[in-house]
Structure 1
């Protein structure tokens, strides 16, 4: 096959007219600047908000393919939410300082804790998700996922003072509801019982009530599953049914002692 024929075949199969990877790169730059604007003391807020608006305009041009929907108007309402997002993120950081005896300072949480970074990008993306801004919120949380190993869908609903410890391997699905003062450890999955496209608009992921602690590698599945307030879910537990408030759930290992071959 000639090079010309190869080029023609490749072009024949490039079927997505809106698939521009520059959108991913620009979203990552926008996400980084948002984070710095909210937290970095040397980043001038007024100057960076103008920069962010310009970046958002570029995202609108790349991501808003529906000509009947004006995504440009979203920026005005979104930027008004940034102070409240920052207030809630400060609560998340304080929760981590209070929960983790290894934390030496709140500055350490902001700069070195992957759980806090994943929560921050989730909260910033979630507000764009609620506005119906296409694709960009998902790219924002995927950027955090790649850096931290924590996968929080921007559609999830997460309350105040959320603490993620270590965090690697955590998955929180799109329709999950996590209420206030919840603590989650590495490897936890808040997922769906079934994977089927027709379930897109249904609640597929669990609800976690206030003051719940979920330890490492626990798996909680299903849209009807509710973990009652003040409960503790032990490591490696597998749950597809609801748990009443004030419960403690343990995974019980099965131990078998191998007989000695020469006994």
Structure 2
């Protein structure tokens, strides 16, 4: 009987060797592929752990700042992967395809505060709204106000400031905003942009400016630009009302995504 193959940390110059494997289910691996394509191999804020051969691993675990993502098969040593997360001690989130999270979750119960299931949707039949708002791309000068807006939204968890500021400054997160009455009132962003896909995140509207269709306009503008750049947008949602909006814009559910929030 073969012994357990332990996960190993691979050097940055090997990260891109995983892309063919991850591309088999690229919609579920947008974060991993985008992070690999956009992060310098010498970066300290990202690590990748692999079990097995790079061409067909039993599992992949990626850390980006304090966020972890897992993509695994039944062959993966889930207890070993969980130990890496626990030993890091600063992890705030683990996310992944629902069945991958279901497999590792029992090994993380002692540090898990909450589990959430999300709908993963892909823009398959674009029906985007025409833009008639002064939408612009956010800059570093908007960072403080944007963080305050995002952290004021009840449905959102607190935004991890270090990764937010880094992605805004580097441009790896493309964030659009709407301003009214001298303040930012609505926003949406793309992240993990790969050569052909992008994840829509952080769709938010100030509570005093809701029911005006602002989020639909910002998301439509962002999606239109992404499509023009050759990238297909996808996103997660758990709110049925948000789901109706995204469905109207042409997003279609392709699967489930799960998130573990840690204490």
TMscore range, shorter length: under 0.3
Q: TM-score, normalised by structure 2?
A: 0.27
| The structure with more strand, counted as a fraction of residues | 2
| The structure with more helix, counted as a fraction of residues | 1
Higher relative contact order (CA 8 A, sep 6+): 2
Higher Cα Rg: structure 1 or 2? 1
